[in-house]
Structure 1
Amino acid sequence: MSAIVRPAQAGDIAAVVELLHTHMNARIPRERWARLLDYPWRPEGVERGWLVEDGGHVVGFMGTIYSDRVIGGRSRRFCDLSSWYLLADYRGDGTGDDLLRSGMARPGVTYQTMTARRATGRK
């Protein structure tokens, strides 16, 4: 496998939506998955999430949903890590760790996850 981790771009939306809808949760409509990558308050200059690509196919994704908020009179940037999914063949070899590190690399950003999920079982 020759997977690479890179920022998701506008041209990747359809492939990411298909991955998430097909493999993560088909009960969520494709239109809702698409909003994850193209939400109206997305600050200029930030990525639409991070994806894992192998041979031109999207095999993993982690959403990065940014917001700018005024806290104590100062503007601060927050990022909610969302919809983290990696096809099973790419798990356990460090690809998921690379995806997480890439998604949390911006200095001065407070990272969080607001999605309540059970633990992955990873030890």
Structure 2
Amino acid sequence: MSHSEFRSTAENIEICPITPGDVERVAEFLHAELNSRLSPSAWAAAIRPTWQSASPNHGFMLVDGERVLGAYVAFYSQRRVDDRMENFCNLSAWCVLEPYRSHGLRLLRAMLAQEGYTFTDLSPSGNVVPLNARLNFQHLDTATALVPNWPWPRLGKRLRIVSDPATIEKSLKGRDLQIYRDHAGAPAAYHLAVIEDGECCYVMFRRDSRKRLRLFASILHVGNPDLFQRVARHVYSHLLTHHGILVTLAETRVVCSRPRYSILLASPRPKMFRSSRVSSSQVDYLYSELTCVPW
């Protein structure tokens, strides 16, 4: 391609919102250019959130006619924070073809130009972290404990750990029941109800890879931290015996304490947010790519 031909093509490049009708072609693009381990249909299922929310788009894409040159996927939700409703936009998969990388920032600017949102970026890549910092994103405290999932015998019948959807529905109530219903079909989310003497703790986790080994679980939500602390060793044992997961990654801000027999990671993965109305303690990992995209 000559320089003049490239310039002519560049003049036709547009930034457009990803509409429901665009999801399939964006999914094909992300399969081909970002992560081929996820099929196009898996990408499409991930992009469409399982919760009901007034979403202005599914993010933004860079296009030249019908050809997708880049995409930045987003997940939207309305969440109650203290006594008010807050609009969240979770920034997810960001990919731009190499010849058009100079246009990539246009996608980010389009996303951040949407007013009235708290923005979260829960898996920024290495070069995105300093960029986010320049755009007034703040770091969350992601201190993470690595917990070996040892088998642990359960004596008596006082404690049950269940994953059957019908039993989870019956066991949960209030906010946790709504969270479960919103995420029950989310492609990356796994669900447990931990029940002891009539008390229940809802646990959501995802499977994760480190150094290409898909042997890890990351805890995304703990509904009853006090009960979780008492029974955590049995939850980790359940992840081993029922899911074949050897290690759990437990952020202390999620599980509310450092697990016993754990090792703190020297360099936990960063997570960031930008908001003028929400504090770091009010940011969680629900309604996000962490529940939707099974990397």
State the TM bucket, normalised to the shorter chain. 0.7 to 0.9
- CA radius of gyration, larger in: 2
Which residue pairs with 1:91 in the alignment? Answer: 101
Deviates more, 1:75-84 or 1:42-51: 42-51
With over 3 angstroms needed to count, the CA separation of the structure-2 counterparts of 1:65 and 1:56, relative to structure 1, is: same
More helix by share: 2
- Equivalent of 2:111, from 99, 103, 119? 103
**SS of residue in 2 equivalent to 1:80:** strand
RMSD: 2.0
Deviates more, 1:54-63 or 1:113-122: 113-122
Deviation at 1:51, TM superposition (A): 0.5
- Equivalent of 2:87, from 77, 81, 95? 77
**Cα distance in 1, alignment partners of residues 62 and 123 from structure 2:** 21
Which residue pairs with 1:8 in the alignment? Answer: 18
Deviation at 1:86, TM superposition (A): 0.4
**Is residue 119 of structure 2 the alignment partner of residue 117 of structure 1?**
no
With over 3 angstroms needed to count, the CA separation of the structure-2 counterparts of 1:49 and 1:120, relative to structure 1, is: closer
1:2-81 correspondence runs (5 A): 2-81=12-91
Displacement over 6 Å in runs of 4+: none
**Cα distance in 1, alignment partners of residues 123 and 52 from structure 2:** 18
Q: Which runs of 5+ in 1 are unaligned?
A: none
Q: Which runs of 5+ in 2 are unaligned?
A: 1-9, 132-295
**Cα distance in 1, alignment partners of residues 55 and 83 from structure 2:** 23
TM-score, normalised relative to structure 1 = 0.87
Q: Which amino acid aligns with 2:121?
A: T
> Cα deviation per residue 1:56-111 (whole Å; 9 max; x = unaligned)?
2011100111111111111101111110000011012xx11111111112211011
Identical-pair percentage? 30
With over 3 angstroms needed to count, the CA separation of the structure-2 counterparts of 1:101 and 1:71, relative to structure 1, is: same
With over 3 angstroms needed to count, the CA separation of the structure-2 counterparts of 1:113 and 1:45, relative to structure 1, is: closer
Aligned positions, number: 121
With over 3 angstroms needed to count, the CA separation of the structure-2 counterparts of 1:112 and 1:120, relative to structure 1, is: closer
Counterpart contact for 1:66–1:79, Cα < 8 Å: yes
**SS of residue in 1 equivalent to 2:21:** helix
Deviation at 1:39, TM superposition (A): 1.1
Q: Which amino acid aligns with 2:119?
A: Y
